[in-house]
Amino acid sequence: MNENDRGLLIESIQLAENCPPSPTFSVGAIIADAGGNVLATGYSGETAPHDHAEEAALAKLDNDDPRLVGATLYTSLEPCSKRSSRPKSCTQLILETAIPRVVFAWREPNIFVDCIGAELLRDAGREVVEVPDLAYLVRKTNSYMPGVAE
């Protein structure tokens, strides 16, 4: 982890507090350039009920934005690898960009799907950093969901 990772990951976790009530996960995401400057943010349900946080943040940037070559995507929850509400998963959307690095706090629990976002990103050559000591904050934000304990 670099010096900006922990702070930006905590900020992404806090963004999830903006999510409208939903029967699915509340997630926050931040995309920062190589210097740690925030390029875009997003949270679940930000502009439409089926928006995922990573999807909302990525939609604010062009896939070929040159700043993404050294960027990091911070997300409170592991990027989804499968979804029924949209044709592309967040993992696919990330892989369509040059973002080389993803940092997240909590692996998606097996509630809706068996998520393998971290593995797919690593297999594609992206650096994936899991920060499990912050997962309790994400579980707290999502404690309304059955099967999620703080």
Of these residues, 11, 17, 54, 130, which one is catalytic? Answer: 54
Tokens of 17: 């507090």
Tokens of 123: 């297999």
> Three-state secondary structure along 38-90?
EEEEEECCCCCCCCCHHHHHHCCCCCCCHHHHHCEEEEEECCCCCCCCCCCCH
Based on the residue annotation, tell me whether 54 is a catalytic residue of this protein: yes
CA-to-CA distance for 68 and 138, rounded, in angstroms? 26
Annotated catalytic residues are: 54
